Structure 1
C-alpha cells in the first residue's frame, strides 16, 4: 500500500487556517497514520478541526489540536437561541446534524432554515441543510463542490434495448467518461463557459481557467456517477407529454471539479478572516453581498455552477450520440448552491448544501443508491422547507465505516440481485451506507410530488482515491 502523502492545499481545502498547524498536521499524519488513505486521513483531520478539544489528550492528534485551540477573539456573538426551523424525518437524522443546524440558526444574519430528511453531519452547515440569510453569502454553506448537480436525459431508444445491447452501452459508458480527482479529458473541448469574462476579471480565476478547460466533461470521485438505466414515467400529465411507461435514460451526478473546490477554499478563508466567529461556527463565516469579496464570490460561484452544467451536457451529448439515441426530455438541478429568493416578502440568499430546489412546479432529480431507484420530482413550494427537498437518500455511515462494514463479495451479490452492473466504485459507496430512499421520500411527501422513477442498470463511478482538488 502506498504511504500517505498530503499537501498543504489538501488541508486548506477542508478549512485548515494558513498557519503552522498545516505543517504539524502533515507531519503527524504522515508519521503516525501513513497507512490511511488520503480520503480517510482528511476525514480524520476534519474531525480534529471541527472539535479540537475532543482530541487534546490524544497522543498524536493532540499536537494538531493544540495548534488549533487558540483564545477566541470575536466581535460577532451568536444569538442566544436558534430560530425555529422545520425538520423533516427527524427520527433518522443524527444529532450531529441537528446540533450543526441549531448553530446555523443562531447566526445574526440568519432569516430562516430547514433540515431535509437525508441530512447528516457535515462541516459548517450539515449536508441536507437549507439556510436563508440576509444580505450575505456563506461559501461553506454552499460547500466545496459548488454546483454539484443531477442531470437526467430520457431517450427515444426502446427500453428493451438497454438489456439486449448491454455490452455496447457498457463499452460506450467506459469510453465516454473520465472519473477521479485531477482527471482531465483529451482532446480538450470548447465551450462558451470557458470564455466567461470572470476568468479575466478575478485574479483567482485567471489561474484556474486551464484547469477548468482540462477537466471539462469529466466527473469527480466519491459519490459521483454516470449511469444508464430505466426511467419509469408515472405521471400522465408530465411536462414533456410522454406516455407513461419505461424509457432508456442516462443519469449523471457531479459538480464543478477542481474549479469549484479552489473557489470554495479561497473564499472560505477570506470569509473567516473578514467575519471572525466562534469555533463552533467558523465554517459559516459569511461575506456581505454588497462587499467586493461577496460580489466576487457570487460571480465565481455562478461561473462554477455554469461550468458544472456544461460538464454534464458534454457527457450526455457524447454518450447519447454513441448509442444512437435522441433526446426526448431532460431534468436537471443543482444541489450545492446559493440563490437569491424571496421568502415571507423579504429577499434572502438561500443556501442549499445537499438539498434540491423544490419551488412550486420546479422539477428535480433525487437519486437513491446504485441499487435503489431515484425519483423525478415536482416541487410543491412548501414554505416551511424554503422550497426545498432532499438531494438523495443521504449517508447513514461514514466512508471509513462503510469500508469496514461491507465486503466486495456482499456488494457483488447485491448488485446481481438487482440486475446492476458496476464499473469502478468502492465499498464506501455500497448501498448499505445510505439511508432507505423509500423512507426518505415518505418523510417529504409535503415537499414534492413524484413524476417518475429511475432504476440504475449500468453504473460508472471512480475507482476510489482522494477527493476533488
Structure 2
C-alpha cells in the first residue's frame, strides 16, 4: 500500500466489506483528519473508529444515487459479508468502476493480493455523509467519539475535547502511553481529573492491574429500587420531612459508624469471605477491626447521597443511594498502591501514581483477591442501607419496595471480561479475556441496567446498556465535576446554592456547598454525548436528599435509631 501510494491526505475512501474494520482504520489514519472513509458491510463493526471514519450495515451493491462529487478510492479485501448477491466481489465491483468518472492516472489496481482499488463516483459517500450530518445535528453528537492519537494506544473520548480539563487529558494520555492498556483507552462523557488516573477512564489489560486506576473507593456505586403503589402525590411535605428525619437517624453519614453493628453484619462479612477469600493481610483486619462491621450500612461523605426520588412521567417513588466500601476499601487501595510502588512497577503518572502490578505475580493476585472482597463489601453496604431506607418508607407510607426491580451497580471496579478489540500494534482484531478497569464508569453491556446520577437537585437516570465496544461496554457514572471542591466553596454563593435546591427536602449547610449543582456538568448534555452507549429507561427527580458532611470539631460514632427491618433482602 505504501509503494502504491494509494491513500493521500484528504482522500475520500469507500471500503466494501469493511468488517472487522482494520482496513477502514488503516485508511482513516493514512488520509488524515481532512479525509473521509465510509465502510459498508452486512455485519456491524463494533470497535471504535476515528472521527473521519464511519460504517454502515448495508448491502454494498444496492446503493442508489446520482449527481454527486467523486470518490478517490474504493477498497475491498473480498470480505464475504459485503453482499448477499451470488456473485464474486471482484465481478461485483466492475459496475461501480464502469459508472465512475475517475481522475486521470488512477486505474483500478490489485493491491496486497485480494485488495481491489478503483476510482469511483462519490455519490454513495456524499449521500451517506449528508445523512450522517443531518442525524448528528439532531443528536448533538456529530463529533463523538473523538480520537486522540498517542505514543501508545489511542484515547477514545466521548466528550468534546475542548470541554475536558487539560489535567484530565494529560492523565488519559499518560495512561494510554503506559504498558497497562491494550486496544485503546475510553473516556466517558463525565471525565475529569482524578488521583493518578482520570475519573471516567476505562481500559482493558492482559497482564497488569493498577490500584489507583480502580480507585481509592473500591466498588463505589449506585443502588435504586421502586416502591410499589407509592407516587409523588402520596407524599405530603410532612411525610417527606419525616422520611428525611428517619433516614438521617438510621443511616450514619460522613465518618460515622453504627454504634453497634447491624444484626446481619457479622454473617454478611462471613458470606463475603466465603465467596472471595481475603488475603492474610485483609483477613486479620476483618477479625480485629470492629469498624469494618460497624460501617456496613453507612454512607460516607463527599458525593455520596441518599435520596427519595420520583420517576418523570408516572411519578412512581423510588429509593436511591450512592456509596462504596468505606474505610476498608480506601485503606486497602492505599496499601496495594504502596506495594506496587515498592515491589511492582513504579510509574509516576500525571497528578498521582500509576504504580501497577503484574496480574500473575503473588502481589497482583493478592490485590485482586482483596479488591474483589472490597467490591463485594461495597455492594452489601449499599444493600444494607437500602433495607434501612425502604423500611423507613414503609413505616411512613405503608408501602413496600419492589426488590425484584432493584439495580445495584459498581462504578469503581475491575473484573475479567471477554473482549473483542483492535490491536493497534499488530493491526489485528483479537478476542481475549482481559481485566477491564472502570474508574468512575458503569458497566453497560447490551441490556444491562445501570444508574447515572446527577448532582444534588438535578436528578438521575436509570439506563440500559447498548454494549458499545468503543467504550469497553461502559457508560458514565455521573455528570462529572467542572469545579474542584475548593473552588466550588470559594466561588458559589450560598444564596445561589440554596436557590438551586428549592423544593427539595435537604440540608443546605455551607459544608455541603462543594456538592452544589453549579459545580457539575450539565447532566442532560452528558446523556446526549453517550446516546450510542445507553438508552434512558427512567429519569428520576429528587424529593428528599441526605448527604454526609463534617463541620469543624464534630465527630460522632452513632447514637442512631434502627427502626424495624422486615426480612432483610440482599440486593
Q: TM-score range by the shorter chain?
A: 0.7 to 0.9
Partner of residue 322, structure 2: 253
Taking structure 1 as reference, are residues 411 and 82 closer, same or farther at Cα in structure 2, changes over 3 Å only?
Answer: same
Q: Which moved more, 1:269-278 or 1:145-154?
A: 269-278
Rate the CA distance shift 1:200–1:412 in 2: closer, same or farther, 3 A.
closer
Deviations 1:25-82 (A, max 9, x none): xxxxxxxxxxxxxxxxxxxxxxxxxxxxxxxxxxxxxxxxxxxxxxxxxxxxxx9803
Q: 1:430 to 1:80 in 2, by over 3 A?
A: closer
| Aligned counterpart, 2:362 | 292
Q: Which residue of 1 aligns with 2:284?
A: 206
Write the distance in 1 (CA, Å) between the matches of 2:393 and 2:260. Answer: 21
Structure 1 partner of 2:121:
none
Within a 5 Å distance, the mapping from 1:437-456 to structure 2 comes to 437-456=523-542
CA–CA distance in structure 1, aligned partners of residues 508 and 243 of structure 2: 12
Query: Match of 2:168?
Result: 97
Shift of 1:134: 1.2
Answer yes or no: is 1:185 the counterpart of 2:270.
no
Alpha-carbon distance in structure 1 between the residues aligned to 2:535 and 2:210: 30
Return the offset for 1:278.
Answer: 4.3
- The answer to whether 1:162 aligns with 2:238 is no
In 2: Cα distance, 1:408 partner to 1:299 partner:
45
1:88 aligns with 2:166: no
Counterpart residue number, 2:31: none
3-state SS of paired residue (2:177): coil
Gaps of 5+ in 2: 1-148, 421-430, 553-571
- What secondary structure is seen at the aligned counterpart in 2 of 1:125? coil
What CA distance in whole angstroms lies between the structure 2 residues aligned with 1:184 and 1:420? 24
Q: 1 CA distance for matches of 2:296 and 2:375?
A: 13
Structure 2 counterparts to residues 144-155 of structure 1, below 5 A: 144-155=216-227
The match for 1:124 is 196
Given the alignment, which residue of 503, 506, 510 partners 1:421? 506
Instruction: Kindly provide the CA deviation profile for residues 175-229 of structure 1, in whole angstroms up to 9, marking residues without a partner as x.
Output: 1221112x21132122333111567742234124422102110011111111111
Count of matched residue pairs: 375
2:10 is aligned to none
Give the Cα separation in 1 of the matches to 2:251 and 2:366: 32
1:194 is aligned to 2:269:
yes
Deviations 1:243-297 (A, max 9, x none): xx22111110010000101110100111112234442367222222222211111
TM-score between the two structures when normalised by the length of structure 2? 0.63
Task: State the SS of the aligned residue for 1:369.
Answer: coil
SS of 1:422 mapped into structure 2: coil
Distance in 2 of aligned mates of 1:154 and 1:446:
26
- CA-CA distance at 1:423 after TM superposition: 6.5
User: Is 1:172 aligned to residue 234 of structure 2?
Assistant: no
**Residues 241 and 505 in structure 2, CA contact (< 8 A), matched pair in contact too:** no
Q: Is the 8 A contact 2:279 2:369 kept in 1?
A: no
Q: Which residue of 2 aligns with 1:265?
A: 334
Q: Is the 8 A contact 1:193 1:306 kept in 2?
A: no
Q: Which moved more, 1:152-161 or 1:264-273?
A: 152-161
Measured in 2, the distance between the counterparts of 1:201 and 1:279 equals 27
CA contact 2:347–2:356 (8 Å) conserved in 1: no
Tell me the CA shift for residue 373 of structure 1: 1.9
Choose which of 474, 498, 507 in structure 2 pairs with 1:412: 498
- The 2-side partners of 1:82 and 1:95 are apart by 19
Q: Which moved more, 1:193-202 or 1:369-378?
A: 193-202
Deviation, structure 1 residue 172: 1.4
Structure 1 position 375 matched with structure 2 position 500: no
Alignment partner of 2:549 out of 455, 463, 469: 463
**1:394-413 maps to which residues of 2 (within 5 A)?**
394-413=480-499
Change (3 A) 1:436 1:257: same
Alignment partner, residue 42 of structure 2: none
Say if 1:360 and 1:80 are closer, same or farther in 2 by CA, change over 3 A: closer
Of residues 409, 412, 432, the one that matches 1:346 is 432
RMSD over aligned Cα atoms = 2.0
**Cα distance in structure 2, aligned partners of 1:406 and 1:322:** 34
Pairwise mapping of residues 64-79 of structure 1 onto structure 2 (< 5 A)? none
**CA displacement 1:298-356 (0-9 Å, x = unmatched):** 11111111111111111111221222132222112100000111221111111110011
Distance 2:410 2:346 in 1: 28
Sort the Cα spacing of 1:347 and 1:80 in 2 relative to 1 into closer, same or farther, 3 A. Answer: same
Q: Secondary structure at the match of 1:456?
A: strand
Gaps of 5+ in 1: 1-78, 234-244
Q: Distance in 2 between matches of 1:201 and 1:170?
A: 39
Aligned counterparts of 1:232 and 1:362: Cα–Cα separation in 2: 21
Change (3 A) 1:109 1:171: closer
Residue 377 of structure 1, CA deviation: 0.4
Equivalence for 1:67? none
1:107 aligns with 2:178: yes
CA separation of 1:117/1:348 partners in 2, compared to 1, >3 Å: closer, same or farther? Answer: same
> Residues 161, 186 of structure 1: CA spacing in aligned structure 2 closer, same or farther, 3 A cutoff?
farther
Check the 8 A contact 1:371/1:420 in 2, yes or no. no
Q: Where do 1:297-376 residues align within 5 Å?
A: 297-324=367-394, 325-328=399-402, 329-344=405-420, 345-376=431-462
